[in-house]
Structure 1
Amino acid sequence: MFSVGKRRVPVGAPAAVGSGLIAMALGALVAATAGGGLGTGNGLGGAYVALLLGLIGTALGGRALTRSRHTR
């Protein structure tokens, strides 16, 4: 958190949401363009992991944003 005047602005939660959305978008792009299946070296396994972790990061960041707005 950092202060803007008397108001404290959370930094971690919006960063988690943004990073999660980017991870999901890039994971979907790699999954859509990868030729072959798992184990062929095209990064399909990593794309699935990026989609899963991006979804988790977005959900947790959204939850943190919601909680920070309710406590004010």
Structure 2
Amino acid sequence: MAGLIAMALGGLVAATADGGLGTGNGLGGAYVALLLGLAGTALGGRALTRSRRAR
């Protein structure tokens, strides 16, 4: 769930940021949040699938 939230907020910041990378508007952090949110969502999905299969 946290990965989905990170992706949503990262996308929101990326969409509303004025200027480009290096301007201090948080665009670099937004891209990092998108990537880490995607990775967290994928790993969480794998863990959920694996835990359901183990029972």
The corresponding residue for 1:69 is: 52
1:55 Cα deviation after fit: 0.2
Partners of 1:55 and 1:20 in 2: CA distance: 6
Q: Which runs of 5+ in 2 are unaligned?
A: none
Task: Name whichever structure is richer in helix by fraction.
Answer: 2
Aligned residue identity for 2:44: G
Give structure 1 regions of 4+ aligned residues with deviation exceeding 2 angstroms: none
Q: TM-score, normalised by structure 2?
A: 0.99
Q: TM-score, normalised by structure 1?
A: 0.76
Task: Name whichever structure is richer in strand by fraction.
Answer: 1
Q: Which runs of 5+ in 1 are unaligned?
A: 1-17
Percent of residue pairs identical: 87
1:27 Cα deviation after fit: 0.0
The corresponding residue for 2:36 is: 53
RMSD: 0.3
